[in-house]
């Protein structure tokens, strides 16, 4: 699988639109499409942002490895404030937020009905 196909596969597998990815990385959807078709080379800082979004290593994004993490939790960009808050936290804060989120789900008390 080439680089562009890998990006498209990650986006579609995680259920993101071109617009959502573009908003997350600070580019328009046409630029994201150019990355996916191989018309534009990706910059390092964009590869890092995409790796955060798709929850894979930057080395996977760049095609240097084929290893994926065992469990991937896609972030729902339908809640942009939550996504923005999450990204403003450092790694420890992000981990705490994910653990608290898991706790809320496991209790069942706050689940949608």
Q: What's the mean pLDDT in 76-81?
A: 58
Q: What is the pLDDT of residue 75?
A: 52
Is 38 or 33 the better-scoring residue by pLDDT?
A: 33
Question: Cβ distance 33 to 42 under 8 Å?
Answer: no
Q: Which of 28-42, 52-66, 74-88 has the lowest mean pLDDT?
A: 74-88
Q: Measured between alpha carbons, how far is 4 from 19 in angstroms, rounded to an integer? A: 17
The pLDDT tens digits of the residues spanning 90-100 come to: 888 888 887 78
Q: What is the pLDDT of residue 71?
A: 47
Closest CA to 64 of 34, 44, 37: 44
| Entry pTM | 0.59
What is the CATH code of the structural domain delimited by 3-78? Answer: 1.10.260.40
The most distant pair of C-alpha atoms in the chain lies apart, rounded to whole Å, by: 48
Q: Where are the domains of the chain?
A: 3-78
Q: What is the pLDDT of residue 76?
A: 52
Residue 29: pLDDT band (50, 70, 90) is very high
Q: What is the pLDDT of residue 69?
A: 61
């Amino acid at each position: 699988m080439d680089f562009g196909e890998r990006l498209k596969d990650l986006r579609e597998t995680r259920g993101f639109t071109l617009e959502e990815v573009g908003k997350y990385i600070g580019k328009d959807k046409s630029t994201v499409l150019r990355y996916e078709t191989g018309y534009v080379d990706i910059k390092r800082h964009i590869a890092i942002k995409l790796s955060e979004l798709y929850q894979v290593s930057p080395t996977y994004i760049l095609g240097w490895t084929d290893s994926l993490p065992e469990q991937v939790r896609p972030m729902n960009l339908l809640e942009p404030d939550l996504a923005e808050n999450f990204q403003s936290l450092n790694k420890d804060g992000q981990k705490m937020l994910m653990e608290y989120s898991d706790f809320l789900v496991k209790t069942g008390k706050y689940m949608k009905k």
